[in-house]
Amino acid sequence: MESKVVNSGDEHNIRLYSSSHQRFIHSAQSNHLFREWQSKGTTNHSPNDFILPLFIIPECDSQEEITSMPNVCRYGVNKAIEYLKPLVSEYSLKSVLLFPVMREKGFAKAINEQFNPVIKLIPKLKNNFPSLTVITDVCLCGFTEDGHCCVFNENGKMDNSESISLLSKLSVSYAKAGADMIAPSDMMDCRVDAIRKGLNENGFHEVSIMSYSAKFASCFYGPFRDAAGSAPKFGDRKCYQLPPGSAGLAMRAVKRDIEEGADVVMVKPGLPYLDLVQKISSTYPEAPVAVYHVSGEYAMLCHGATAGAFVLKTAVMEVVTSFKRAGASIVITYFTPLILKWLKDA
């Protein structure tokens, strides 16, 4: 098997093997929060457990309400810094997951900070909040004219090879800007391997990967697509996102991603797939499991509480506890600001 030697500075040379079954572990422990996640949580909750998703727009001083997601906004770079200051300093926010909202499409713009606001924001986050862990979602849907998570060849077929090559280039762009972790959400085959190789070959061995491994074709993504402007212009994503009943495919996808070098695996959405969270956690106890409590789940709880069906705090904390009980170490949720405040006041 061929190997390639790259220089890693003053440290030992590292051999990168042309195999999809890589065994890198340094990226899983390169950050204080990653070390915590690798230590596996319980049903006790701390700020370390929660990641806040943020939608970032190019207009630096703008803030836009998202009508389908109560109390959630899109933020320009300066507004994002302003919004995060009290969450980090007063409520111990530890991590954010960034999504670019592009005004102009095209992959050349995806890797250019003049057009991709996430690339512009990352250095400012690291400067203002040195302890904040910055995770970037990586997908093509925000950059393609058709809103799909991949590119298509001249015959109209999904071009997996070209798609994962572009995903790797986008990941390297985020790493160069200072991202701590890359989170591929596209569900292309072998994209974790392509991203890991791209990061390593560019000297970013310490950058971690959290893969959307068990991502289902779900109706609960509706508000997100409104927020990010990423709805497909034709067809759907059922050929690459998992069928809701496909426990076997989900387990195969998780196994593949772990073997390719994912440091954390994710189940998305959360509540409808707690059985998969439990099965993945018990089958792969060495891998931290994240749950994405998605936009539709968020909106459902908000509207239920507004209608008087239940008390929001009680419902949210019951849901979060169910994620942890099932085996999740990490919860990605739009309720993170409220949860952090509740934890501080407890």
**Residues annotated in a binding site for 5-aminolevulinate:** 225, 237, 295, 334
| DSSP, res 158 | B
* Measured distance CA(324)–CA(308) in Å, rounded: 26
What are the CB-based long-range contacts (under 8 Å, 24+) for 190-194?
A: 190/20, 190/160, 190/164, 190/256, 190/260, 191/163, 191/164, 191/167, 192/256, 192/257, 192/260, 192/261, 192/262, 193/20, 193/22, 193/260, 193/261, 194/164, 194/165, 194/167, 194/168
Q: Specify the pairing of strand 73-75 against strand 181-184.
A: unpaired
Q: Which residues are annotated as a binding site for Zn(2+)?
A: 139, 141, 148-149, 239
Q: Work out the angle at residue 216's Cα, subtended by the Cα atoms of residues 244 and 246, and round it to the nearest 5 degrees.
A: 40
Report the candidate in 116, 119, 121 with the shortest Cα–Cα distance to residue 103. 116
Q: Which of 79, 120, 268, 279 is catalytic?
A: 268
The yes-or-no answer on residue 268 being catalytic is yes
CB atoms within 10 A of CB 226: 15
The yes-or-no answer on residue 233 being catalytic is no
Q: Which of 94, 120, 215, 324 is catalytic?
A: 215
Whether the CB-CB separation of 228 and 55 falls below 8 Å is answered with yes
* Measured distance CA(322)–CA(143) in Å, rounded: 35
Whether the CB-CB separation of 37 and 273 falls below 8 Å is answered with no
| DSSP, res 275 | H
Tokens at 288, concatenated: 């931290």
* Measured distance CA(177)–CA(239) in Å, rounded: 32
Q: Which residues are annotated as a binding site?
A: 139, 141, 148-149, 225, 237, 239, 295, 334
Active site residues: 215, 268
